[in-house]
Amino acid sequence: MELTFKDFKSSQPVRWCPGCGDHAVINTLQKAMAEIGVHPHNIAVVSGIGCSSRLPYYLNTYGFHSIHGRGAAIASGVKTANPKLSVWQATGDGDCLAIGGNHFIHSVRRNINLNVLLFNNRIYGLTKGQYSPTSPKGFVSKSSPDGTVEKAFSPAELTFGAGGTFFARTLDVDADTAKTAMIEAHNHKGTAIIECLVNCIIFNHGTHSDLSSKEARAERTIVLEHAKPMIFGTERNKGLILDGWNIKAVTIGENGVKESDILVHDAKTQDYALHLKLAQMQLPELPVAMGVIRSVEDESYEAEFEKQIANVQRKSKIKNFDELIGTLEQWEI
């Protein structure tokens, strides 16, 4: 049976604020799941606490709304206990990178086959507008009336530092790039992190407005695709080159720059030095990188764990828990 996005819609009314970027993420996810083709009863969606963590209610799949920051731990257990399930985690910049930071880095380090949607609106929305770990330094909020003095976390830097094998970034207004990233995340064997840049219309409206308009996207973002030149711009005449150790934006046709000079994206190289440089690009000197930035092959945690179990079973007379119970003394009352 061919699946459609309607097969992944639950009967629950979506209770995000009108205009919230989370709506775009779930709509794109439902379309991506239909294209992936895994049936709803073979999917589990786990979340922590926050606006984004309401997502399991709105999907016609198995779901688990856990506690603050613990989504990665629950999702890791679900995937390890039942490796055949497609497991997705919905989390926010606060839920994931503050109280859940330790669980996040260790799920990445273990390379558990999870698809993590990290909603980043640079604010605590559910608890009414405190600054979050990704709020920029100087950000004024209810909990930082004179501007936060903290330096913001970079989800990409954390992912790569923990040995991450997959990292992508998307905008709520760019459904095509987001759907492609979600499909590639599902196909990846290991922890796949997708940083979803979303708007919080109530407490941090316009936080990504320098990137989100159609005109701004062409000039201020670059959608990376493996094995393709890093070209961007309204007229597709701008690109990225290496200038020594640094990335530089250039215009093709100016100062002798040819299209053949433009860097070709290699998302699959094990060395993440260039991946990190791409992920850390910032305006106004450089466009912000979107799409799949890193996607490399490595053994997943649950696959290695299953190998250990199979090896022990081959050596042991007792193959499973039921057989173990059968060897114990039993009586009736």
Question: Which two structure tokens, joined as six digits, stand for 287?
Answer: 């466009």
| Mean pLDDT along residues 190-203 | 97
| Mean pLDDT along residues 157-161 | 97
For residue 310, what are the domain limits? 1-212+299-333
- Inter-CA distances, 6 with 11, 12, 14, 236, Å: 10, 13, 14, 36
Q: What pLDDT was estimated at residue 331?
A: 84
159 plus 87 within the same structural domain:
yes
- DSSP letter, residue 95: I
pLDDT greater than 90 at residue 36 = yes
Summarised one tens digit per residue, pLDDT across range 221-277 is 999 999 999 999 999 999 999 999 999 999 999 999 999 999 999 999 999 999 999
To the nearest whole percent, how much of the chain has pLDDT over 90?
A: 91
| Rounded distance between C-alpha atoms, residue 94 and residue 100, angstroms | 8
| Mean pLDDT along residues 12-39 | 97
Kindly report whether the global pTM for this prediction surpasses the value 0.75.
yes
Any domain includes 179 = yes
**How many domains is the chain built from?**
2
Nearest 5°: phi and psi at 330? -130, 150
| Mean pLDDT along residues 105-112 | 97
Centroid of chain to Cα 102: 16
Residue 82: pLDDT band (50, 70, 90) is very high
327 plus 262 within the same structural domain:
no
17 plus 153 within the same structural domain:
yes
| Mean pLDDT along residues 52-62 | 98
Q: Is residue 303 within 8 Å of 189, Cβ to Cβ?
A: yes
Which range, of 71-80, 169-178, 212-221, 275-284, averages the lowest pLDDT? 212-221
To the nearest whole percent, how much of the chain has pLDDT over 70?
A: 100
Pick the closest to residue 125 from 161, 94, 156, 79 (CA basis): 94
Q: What pLDDT was estimated at residue 280?
A: 97
Neighbours of 4 (CB within 10 A): 13
Cis status, amide bond into 13, omega within 30 of 0: no
272 plus 127 within the same structural domain:
no
Helix 301-315 to helix 71-81 angle (10° resolution) is 40
pLDDT greater than 90 at residue 328 = no
Is residue 258 exposed (0-12), middle (13-18) or buried (19+ Cβ within 10 Å)? Answer: exposed
| Mean pLDDT along residues 71-97 | 97
Neighbours of 305 (CB within 10 A): 15
- Inter-CA distances, 272 with 85, 167, 280, Å: 29, 11, 12
